[in-house]
Amino acid sequence: MDPNIIKMYQERFTEFLNNLKNDIYPESVPLQAKFSCTDKPVPFSERLNLEYKEIKSGDIWAKEWQSAWFNFTVEVPAKFADKELCLRIHTGSEALLFDDHGNPIYALTGYTIFDSNFYRDRYIIGKKTPGTKLNYWIEAAAYSLVGIYLPDYREQNPKHKHGFFPPEMHHMELSVFDGEVWKLMIDLTVMENMMKVETCKTRRGIRLLYEINQAIDIYNFNSANAEKTRRYLAEKVFSKSAASTAMTVTCIGHAHIDVGWLWPVSESIRKAARTFSTQLALMERYPDYIFGASQAELYMAIKENYPVLYERIREKVKAGRWEILGGMWVEADCNLISGESMIRQFLYGKNFFMDEFGCDVRDLWIPDVFGYSASMPQIIRKSGCDYFLTQKISWSRINQFPHNTFRWRGIDGTEILTHFPPENTYNAVCTPEQRIAAENRFKENAYLDEFMSLFGIGDGGGGPSEEYLERNERMRDWDGCPKVRYGTAAGFFERLSAHEAQLPYWDGELYLEMHRGTLTTQAAVKRGNRYCEQALVALEFFASCADIKDYPVKMIADSYRDLLRNQFHDILPGSSIKKVYERTEKEYAATLVNCKKEMDKVAARLFETAPGCCTIVNTLSVPWRGILTLPESWQGYAVKGAEAGNGKEIRVNVPPTSFTVIRKGRKKVFRKKTLAVPILENEFVRYEFAGDGSLLSVYDKKLKREIMAGPGNVMEMYHDIPPEYDAWEVEIYYRRNKICSMKGEWISGYADQVLSELNFVYRSEHSVMTQRVILRPDSARLDFVTHVHWDEKHVLLRTGFPTVIRGRAFFDIQYGQIERTTHDNTSWDEAKFEVCGQRYADLSSRDFGMALLNDCKYGYRVKDGNISISLLRAPKFPDFEADLGEHDFTYSLLPHEGDLENSSVIAEAAMLNRTPYLAEASAAPENFDFPCRITSEGVSLEIVKKAEKDDSRIIRLVEIKGRCSSARLHFAKTVKKVSHTNLIEWEHGEEVAIRDSIAELTLKPYEIVTLRLE
């Protein structure tokens, strides 16, 4: 075909489509509308108590985050007789249509950034008798699918630093709906999209353009010809079947709903209601359509707030039309949460789905999480899941991941069947262009015939629209495209498992080469999470010592659900708006207060009242050696039972899973020695500082070896302005953009029987940091107890310690460790310039090493002998005030003899992160004992708790050294039976032999073992 003719036909087609849109709604009459705006949502049952006023198109009806009820009325005109009708309402925001009983039935949403053609402003009501008076209620929220308008993070002083949103009423009409014209529009836009793939340089592209112009001729500017035109296209275009070699796409309707992100957590409930009600409505129109959704948190919220909607979902689950996805409570971050938190995500999530729906969910479904720990395969498998799905690794910026379907192997050797949908999105829009690209991109397409598509608008919810489902209909079996079928993830993975043996494997972490700033952003939420994780585990341990009937079941469950919710992958990583963190901060504070109250209650039941005594309880399976602050009424007194005291603090050594009783002595004057130079030392090590706070020397006295290769503990500030994703990103070039180092000054130094300390203050132009640097007489560990007043903009604060060590780097991950390279030999090595470590990172050769511990930090870099950590960031989007204010944290330096496996690093990290509980005015009786104690060098007793479903106790053991390790378990006399179970406590497995209340076990490297005590 002549190029000029092609151009002419293309221009004709574009103009035709623009005109065709007008024929979809040939006639309309306005709706009469009134509304009432409130600061907070008002229940349907209370809407009539509000005061209403009229509204017209073009009116601004609220400000950001407000809510409103709209009442729309109209009398059906005579000219609409026997015509298909629809409501067309666009509030300029998110909105939800309700039936007369207050049940949500359909969402009306303006637009989304993910698909410019996504437009849900129509609700079909069918034919209505002329004269009928129609009355509809809509609840609208003053934000869009992706929240409100937030300022550009490059702005210095924006007018609306926390955003704004003026919702404008666009249109509100009762319209005639011509379904045949609308379907013709779908036909033509699908063909148009296919032409983007084929172009008019191929025969298929030319033929499509020809048939389009034939269709335009048939239509002839008359909507009455729409059906005839569609029949022509069905015969000439869509009847041509896909090639026999075409792959099959298993399509599952999907709506990724962020529990908190650019909207408060409370609004995710209404987002879920809009999404779920709409998908149920679509199921009625498309009988083989299947929708799936994850996150027990959202299902529970729907149950509590929209019970009728919830029952409708349950019916569709039973019918196989709605699939419950993902074993976790929420789609949680998988870098920052502890091993036990990850297990509880499964325990709470899978139990909810089983209890509510009778579903044993076998897949872990987390398509948008920012990297996946190497310990996950074992946790996934032992939590009763066999499959894993994500697409996020496709976002990596430097290296392309080599597989789409593979076996993922963890640190213990467990393998999980894994699929990365090759559309590289969880917001697929069902176009030929997208599907064909995925088929060609699918890395196992030489021997696999099927991949999955997650189609529908997400993040802010929404899900598939009618247009998406119609496009799928056109592509079911169409020449040039993969074949389309609706299906479930369960069915897809079951078919895929038949090919598992021939699949490649990937060993180790799934590291996302992006979003590295989330290891540091919003430091307060990370601190709160770490502290709550430790507090809840300690409470469970201690409460298990008392009568199980007094166990605080509800308080622990409620607190865990709060904790698990806040581990959602945009909350804990720090990429949400300020409103999210205002709630999170309150929930963390409440959890810590409630844990302390319950610990006090347990102590009151277990211990004897003893004024002048305190019992110190250690719930760790290692001795706790460290410093405790005395109760205020004890300060200035001598203390019996402590190793040393200075009137304010004591140094204690509490045996593992045991207690120590201390007694208040006489009033005493305590003296401190003033240090003349900034040097701290004991029998193990000597630390020498400069007057500016930098660490000049770490000399190991036993090994007679200097460890430092240059000044350490320098507070380095870097420009931190990523080109996009402000809260998410730290870019590879940040180290070339150093601003300065904070100026340090030595203020004082003291020593007494408890500790030696140096006090420093550091200043930048806007911020102040104070450090209390502490060395105990009984340890080489040096603690940097830090307080910062932080008032920076786009600044990254890091500190590090250059060493002479050429060795191997290991990092703490969930119930294990991972080794990473200390060089940049390959692009894969270089991409890991900021990596996750939980409680420690260690750099060791065979004979000595040094670890950097922390109590709430995660972003490490260990390269070329330098071990460093990120402390604070100051991004401006999406929270303009992120990280501003006060911060408290501790990091610690620990030189040691031997490698990590033969050092005290793991034990010291545990001690740093969990302080013993101090029960005032009480003394533990001599016969007090824990339900279980352990003797082992390589196995840790991590958990003692009440079982979820009965009154037995659950214990969890973890091999922590990466080798086969034996353990001797000592049980209380009341324990009569011990048996294996899985992480979610569903199994009643093999019994463990007990003799004289002792059992012996051998665990494989990094193995997690869960036992039930009865």
* pLDDT tens digits, 876-917: 999 999 999 999 999 999 999 999 999 999 999 999 999 999
Same domain, 885 and 742: yes
CB contact burial 72-87 (16+ within 10 A = b; e otherwise): bebebeeebeebbbbb
Per-residue pLDDT, 111: 66
In a domain, 979, yes or no: yes
Residue reference for tokens 């910026």: 397
Same domain, 756 and 870: yes
The residues assigned a catalytic role are: 368
List, in order, residues 6 or more apart from 500 with CB less than 8 Å away. Answer: 407, 417
In a domain, 429, yes or no: yes
In a domain, 281, yes or no: yes
Per-residue pLDDT, 113: 65
Q: How far apart are the first and last CA of the chain?
A: 82
Q: What is the CATH number of the domain that holds 937?
A: 2.60.40.1180
Is the pLDDT score of 936 beyond 70? Answer: yes
| SS3 call for 895 | strand
| Separation between Cα atoms, residue 857 and residue 817, nearest integer Å | 16
pLDDT digits (tens, 9 = 90+) for 368-385: 999 999 999 999 999 999
Q: What is the CATH number of the domain that holds 302?
A: 3.20.110.10
Same domain, 836 and 752: yes
pLDDT digits (tens, 9 = 90+) for 129-176: 999 999 999 999 999 999 999 999 888 888 999 999 999 999 999 999
DSSP state of 392: G
Is the pLDDT score of 118 beyond 90? Answer: no
Indicate the range of 188-202, 332-346, 588-602, 996-1010 predicted with least confidence: 188-202
Among residues 345, 287, 290, which one has the least CA distance to residue 489? Answer: 290
DSSP string, 74-87: EEPPGGGTT--EEE
Q: What is the CATH number of the domain that holds 682?
A: 2.70.98.30
Same domain, 756 and 889: yes
List, in sequence order, every beta strand (DSSP E) within 791-928.
Answer: 795-802, 808-813, 816-820, 835-836, 840-844, 848-854, 859-863, 866-872, 885-897, 917-923
Enumerate long-range contacts of 220-229, CB under 8 Å, 24 or more apart: 221/19, 223/23, 223/26, 223/178, 223/180, 223/181, 226/23, 226/178, 226/180, 226/181, 226/183, 226/184, 227/180, 229/184
Among residues 75, 73, 68, 270, which one has the least CA distance to residue 169? Answer: 68
What order do you get walking across the sheet with 679-681 strand by strand? 679-681, 685-689, 695-700, 705-706
| Separation between Cα atoms, residue 635 and residue 584, nearest integer Å | 34
For the chain, give the percent of residues with pLDDT over 70.
Answer: 99
Per-residue pLDDT, 157: 85
Among residues 979, 975, 1011, which one has the least CA distance to residue 996? Answer: 975
Among residues 332, 390, 605, which one has the least CA distance to residue 510? Answer: 390
Is the pLDDT score of 587 beyond 80? Answer: yes
| SS3 call for 959 | strand
Q: Is 132 left (phi over 0), alpha (psi -120 to 50) or beta?
A: beta
Average pLDDT rounded to a whole number, residues 557-566 = 99
| Separation between Cα atoms, residue 177 and residue 185, nearest integer Å | 13
Same domain, 409 and 489: yes
- The number of distinct structural domains making up the chain is 5
Residue reference for tokens 């499509």: 208
Q: How confident is the model at residue 862 (pLDDT cuts 50, 70, 90)?
A: very high
Indicate whether this model's pTM tops 0.85. yes
In a domain, 769, yes or no: yes
**Strand-pair category, 848-854 with 885-897:** antiparallel
Is the pLDDT score of 771 beyond 80? Answer: yes
Residue reference for tokens 């390279």: 821
Is the pLDDT score of 538 beyond 70? Answer: yes
In a domain, 241, yes or no: no
Same domain, 302 and 203: no
| Separation between Cα atoms, residue 397 and residue 416, nearest integer Å | 25
Per-residue pLDDT, 692: 98
Query: 6 or 701: which carries more pLDDT confidence?
Result: 701
Give the burial class of 585: count Cβ atoms within 10 A of its Cβ; 0-12 exposed, 13-18 middle, 19 or more buried: middle
Three-class secondary structure assignment of 85-97? EEEEEECCCEEEE
Same domain, 680 and 665: no
| Separation between Cα atoms, residue 536 and residue 526, nearest integer Å | 16
Q: How confident is the model at residue 2 (pLDDT cuts 50, 70, 90)?
A: confident
Per-residue pLDDT, 114: 67
In a domain, 15, yes or no: yes
Give the burial class of 591: count Cβ atoms within 10 A of its Cβ; 0-12 exposed, 13-18 middle, 19 or more buried: buried
| Separation between Cα atoms, residue 915 and residue 281, nearest integer Å | 53
What order do you get walking across the sheet with 658-667 strand by strand? 637-640, 658-667, 608-618, 917-923
CB of 428 within 8 A of CB of 410?
Answer: no
Same domain, 222 and 270: no
Q: Quote the tokens at residue 118.
A: 């996504």
pLDDT digits (tens, 9 = 90+) for 648-684: 999 999 999 999 999 999 999 999 999 999 999 999 9
| Separation between Cα atoms, residue 780 and residue 687, nearest integer Å | 10
Q: How confident is the model at residue 926 (pLDDT cuts 50, 70, 90)?
A: confident
Q: How confident is the model at residue 200 (pLDDT cuts 50, 70, 90)?
A: confident
Among residues 263, 302, 297, which one has the least CA distance to residue 280? Answer: 302
Cis check: omega of the bond before 655, within 30 degrees of 0? no
Instruction: Provide the CB-side half-sphere exposure for 764 (13 A, CA).
Output: 21
Among residues 590, 430, 415, which one has the least CA distance to residue 508? Answer: 415
List, in sequence order, every beta strand (DSSP E) within 705-815.
Answer: 705-706, 716-719, 738-741, 743-751, 756-763, 768-775, 782-790, 795-802, 808-813
pLDDT digits (tens, 9 = 90+) for 739-756: 999 999 999 999 999 999
In a domain, 596, yes or no: no
Among residues 526, 580, 559, 584, which one has the least CA distance to residue 336? Answer: 526
Q: Which helix (H) or strand (E) holds 139?
A: strand 133-141
List, in order, residues 6 or more apart from 440 with CB less than 8 Å away. Answer: none
Same domain, 1006 and 894: no
Same domain, 666 and 677: no
Give the distance, in angstroms, between the CA of residue 320 and the centroid of all CA atoms in the same chain: 28
Average pLDDT rounded to a whole number, residues 775-781 = 98
| Separation between Cα atoms, residue 521 and residue 354, nearest integer Å | 36
List, in order, residues 6 or more apart from 623 with CB less than 8 Å away. Answer: 653, 654, 655, 656, 907
The domain of 981 spans 931-1014
| SS3 call for 518 | helix
Q: How confident is the model at residue 273 (pLDDT cuts 50, 70, 90)?
A: very high
Q: Quote the tokens at residue 265.
A: 């957590």
| Separation between Cα atoms, residue 143 and residue 595, nearest integer Å | 37
Same domain, 922 and 941: no
**Strand-pair category, 953-959 with 1008-1013:** antiparallel
Q: Quote the tokens at residue 183.
A: 């379907």
Instruction: Provide the CB-side half-sphere exposure for 869 (13 A, CA).
Output: 25
Strand partners, 954: 945, 1012
DSSP string, 558-624: HHHHHHHHTTBTTTTTT-S-HHHHHHHHHHHHHHHHHHHHHHHHHHHHHSEEEEEEEEEEE-SSS-E
Give the distance, in angstroms, between the CA of residue 649 and the centroid of all CA atoms in the same chain: 38
Same domain, 657 and 615: yes
Q: Tell me which amino acid residue 799 is.
A: T
CB of 280 within 8 A of CB of 308?
Answer: no
Count of Cβ atoms closer than 10 Å to residue 113 Cβ: 13
Return mean pLDDT, the chain. 97
pLDDT digits (tens, 9 = 90+) for 948-1003: 999 999 999 999 999 999 999 999 988 999 999 999 999 999 999 999 999 999 99
pLDDT digits (tens, 9 = 90+) for 17-68: 999 999 999 999 999 999 999 999 999 999 999 999 999 999 999 999 999 9
Per-residue pLDDT, 829: 98
Maximum CA pair distance of the chain? 105
DSSP state of 235: I
- φ, ψ at 572 (rounded to 5°): -60, -40
| Separation between Cα atoms, residue 134 and residue 129, nearest integer Å | 11
Per-residue pLDDT, 119: 78
Indicate the range of 108-122, 309-323, 506-520, 790-804 predicted with least confidence: 108-122
Q: Which helix (H) or strand (E) holds 365?
A: strand 363-365
pLDDT digits (tens, 9 = 90+) for 261-270: 999 999 999 9
In a domain, 568, yes or no: no
Q: How confident is the model at residue 928 (pLDDT cuts 50, 70, 90)?
A: confident
Planar angle of CA 618, 622, 627, nearest 5 degrees = 55
Q: Which helix (H) or strand (E) holds 308?
A: helix 307-319
Per-residue pLDDT, 186: 98
Q: Quote the tokens at residue 115.
A: 């698909």
